[in-house]
């Protein structure tokens, strides 16, 4: 019967042999029949409509506590907080990991990414704070970025320290996936400009949006036929978030466009890329940019301060499908291991 249904997102035949067979099977069974968001009239339903397939994230591991927080007046974001088991509490306090969900700045919430947040909390023995930032199109750029900065300030504040409990708010890392990774990368840059500056321990950029000026004529040319996150879909998200073309030229939206001296202030970085993702060229180029910025500014960095992990045959769905794809589970485990290793330095 499935063959009688219209295929809205068939895999391009030139790409099919390059893809992970597990992903191909899932795409052919489910995803090719889904009407792309960019073909619909936006009404907000994409935020609440459940997928027609089983949950694709992994089951979250158990941690000490999970709770939702609404910060005080004047702050427009929600938070979900994961705290490790009490008996692992260090005398100096837990380090803090700020996480930003994906969803093209238009969908998603703190309910997304429970698996990665819980695993990082457990394995890295840190407090994980997922930020529910304001969403486009109701709240276009720079609302999400402003909320990211606001969340960092809150963690550093007296209110945040009291609410989160035994934390070491001098040891803060940031991370995110897709659009959330863009927020994390730009936040790392902004942190260096705050007064006083906030030193970020490391940034974790998973399948990141880095360049909001990219097109199929430029950066995306080699991945123009990527499945699921297609160029049309990415542009659809971008147009909802960035109302003015000039917005894309700001490093708060495109971190790769930051001046070199600011890029040189970026923290050590882990970038996870999926080989067949539309966004892989801009992510890998950003790693090169960071290395060059440090070299040309004489900033001393140890070997491996930019680590790029490439998941062959994978797509933009990799982390979101960690519960059904072997490579998604590998990415999930790698992220938690990387956080643990860098917080222990």
Identified catalytic residue from 130, 178, 186, 322:
178
Give the Cα separation of 146 and 342 in Å (integer). 27
Determine contact, residues 285/208, Cβ cutoff 8 Å: no
Find all residues with CB under 8 Å of 255, minimum gap 6, and list them.
Answer: 182, 185, 186, 188, 189, 210, 263, 286
Identified catalytic residue from 27, 78, 186, 316:
316
Find all residues with CB under 8 Å of 18, minimum gap 6, and list them.
Answer: 275, 276, 313
| Closest to 273 (Cα-Cα) out of 222, 237, 239 | 222
- Is 58 one of the catalytic residues? no
- Is 146 one of the catalytic residues? no
Helices 179-191, 143-156: inter-axial angle, 10-degree rounding:
60
Identified catalytic residue from 20, 277, 314, 322:
277
Asked whether the CA dihedral 313, 318, 322, 324 is positive or negative, the reply is negative
- Is 316 one of the catalytic residues? yes
CB count, 10 Å around CB of 284? 15
Check residue 32 and report its DSSP letter. G
Give the Cα separation of 118 and 98 in Å (integer). 12
CB count, 10 Å around CB of 178? 27
Peptide bond into 137 cis (omega under 30): yes
Tokens of 297: 């500014």
Q: What SS3 state is found at 123?
A: helix
Determine contact, residues 227/12, Cβ cutoff 8 Å: yes
Give the Cα separation of 212 and 39 in Å (integer). 21
Active-site residue list: 178, 277, 316
């Amino acid at each position: 019967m499935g063959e009688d249904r219209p295929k809205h997102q068939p895999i391009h035949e030139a790409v099919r042999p390059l893809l992970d067979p597990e992903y191909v099977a899932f795409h052919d069974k489910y995803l090719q029949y889904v009407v792309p968001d960019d073909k619909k009239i936006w009404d907000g339903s994409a935020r609440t409509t459940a997928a027609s397939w089983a949950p694709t994230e992994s089951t979250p591991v158990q941690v000490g506590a999970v709770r939702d927080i609404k910060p005080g007046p004047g702050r427009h974001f929600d938070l979900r907080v994961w705290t490790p088991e009490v008996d692992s509490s260090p005398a100096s306090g837990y380090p803090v990991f700020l996480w930003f969900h994906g969803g093209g700045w238009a969908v998603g919430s703190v309910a997304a990414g429970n698996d990665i947040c819980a695993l990082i909390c457990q394995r890295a023995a840190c407090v994980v704070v997922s930020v529910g930032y304001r969403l486009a199109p109701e709240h276009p750029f720079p609302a999400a970025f402003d909320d990211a900065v606001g969340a960092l300030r809150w963690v550093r504040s007296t209110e945040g320290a009291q609410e989160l409990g035994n934390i070491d708010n001098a040891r803060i890392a940031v991370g995110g996936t897709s659009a959330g990774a863009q927020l994390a990368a730009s936040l790392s840059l902004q942190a260096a400009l705050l007064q006083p500056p906030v030193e970020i321990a490391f940034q974790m950029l998973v399948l990141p949006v880095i360049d909001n000026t990219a097109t199929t004529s430029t950066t995306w040319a080699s991945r123009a036929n990527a499945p699921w996150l297609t160029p049309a879909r990415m542009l659809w998200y971008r147009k909802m978030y960035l109302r003015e073309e000039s917005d894309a030229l700001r490093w708060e939206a495109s971190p790769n466009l930051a001046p070199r001296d600011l890029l040189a202030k970026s923290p050590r970085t882990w970038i996870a890329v999926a080989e067949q993702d539309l966004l892989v060229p801009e992510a890998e180029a950003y790693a090169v940019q960071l290395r060059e910025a440090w070299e040309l500014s004489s900033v001393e960095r140890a070997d491996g301060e930019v680590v790029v992990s490439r998941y062959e045959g994978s797509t933009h769905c990799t982390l979101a499908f960690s519960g059904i794809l072997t490579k998604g589970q590998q990415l999930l485990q790698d992220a938690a291991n990387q956080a643990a290793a860098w917080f222990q330095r």
